[in-house]
Amino acid sequence: MAGAPIKLIFGVDGSYSQHLAVTLVSLLENNPANRFDILVVTINMAEADRWKIEALAGRFDNVTLAFQPFDITRYSHFRTDNHISHASYLRIFIPEILPESVEKVLYLDCDLVVRHDIAALWQSELGNTVLGAVRNPFFVRHGDLEMPAGADYFNAGVLLMNLKRWRELDGTARLIRFIEAHHDHLWAHDQDALNAVFCGEVRELAPFWNFQTSMLWTEPDQLSLSYPQFRGLLEDPGIVHYTTPSKPWHFSNSHPYKNAYFQYLARTPYSDFQPKDVSLGSLLTRALRWPQSAFRDRLPDAYYPTRRLLRQLKAISLGSKA
């Protein structure tokens, strides 16, 4: 393990401590050749959870881990919805949380698993752009966010951050102003604000580094991939990000990499976890989803072309009725 450590930061609500542990063990197990300097910025994390995560990190000799609580009270008026808590907004304060001497950091969400060595991600060239990020497909709300029509929209769960450039642009203050002025339109919260404020200041990263749940439903050309490249992404993503409110720790979830979450969970202090949403309704939901999920996961070479054909037929049918 030569060279300077990869500087990495998490922002986490205490209720996500278990999921942070899963992300952390997946990262460290799959990156034995890298050293890490990790800061966990927390809101409402119990001391017992911090001890568990410190003990987990202590099993690895390639990481230093520190915790820093953050008082979000001043920004408690920021919009939250459903599974998104105020911890999501911690991203926008990273350049102020870290010392001026830190000019580059990798931010990761806690609802993901790392499956590969991330040295190449860390070494990605940003030039004079503020962020490196992966495109988020299906975005259409450009008008709400005052973005140019057709501008790319990125997912903020994996961010390579050029803190020097961010500070030069007074990014945090601009983001706070935008959030307060566009409260009603921030369906994706700080992610929307980051896209609007830094539009044109983002270097696109490969989908390999942030395989989002929505990518299961996209077409290859929407990610600038050929079909063989898309199939390769499905089979072997570097980072799996469980976007959408349905998460692998939910009983009814049918994500193709659901088992990866539980694989790493078994190696954390939270290994006795059992889903809390087991009910007649969730059993029915899982049963109804199973045929399509099984087709997708077991016969992908048939599933994706079939799905594309059905979409084309639907478009032709709608066109004939117009």
Q: How many residues does the chain have?
A: 322
If DSSP codes are grouped into helix, strand and coil, which group holds residue 205? strand
List, in order of start, the domains of the chain with CATH numbers. 6-211 (3.90.550.10), 279-322 (no CATH)
Q: How many CB atoms lie within 10 A of CB 288?
A: 12
Q: Tell me if residue 81 falls in helix, strand or coil.
A: strand
Radius of gyration of the chain, Cα coordinates, nearest whole angstrom? 20
Contact, 20 vs 110, CB < 8 A?
yes
Closest CA to 268 of 253, 249, 255: 249
Per residue in 81-93, pLDDT (tens digit) is: 665 667 777 898 9
Assign 121 to helix, strand or coil: helix
Q: What is the separation, in whole angstroms, between the first and last Cα of the chain? A: 63
CA 242/CA 309 separation, integer angstroms: 27
Q: What are phi and psi of 250, to 5 degrees?
A: -90, 135
pLDDT tens per residue, the chain (322 residues)? 557 999 999 999 999 999 999 999 999 999 999 999 999 999 999 999 999 999 999 999 999 999 999 887 776 666 666 656 677 778 989 999 999 999 999 999 999 999 999 999 999 999 999 999 999 988 888 888 888 998 999 999 999 999 999 999 999 999 989 888 877 777 778 888 899 999 999 999 999 999 999 999 888 888 999 989 999 999 999 999 999 889 999 999 999 999 999 999 999 999 999 988 788 877 787 777 777 777 777 777 777 777 777 777 766 766 655 5
Q: What is the pLDDT of residues 22-80, one digit of tens each?
A: 999 999 999 999 999 999 999 999 999 999 999 999 999 999 999 999 887 776 666 66
Tokens of 87: 């911890």
Do 42 and 10 contact (CB within 8 A), yes or no? no
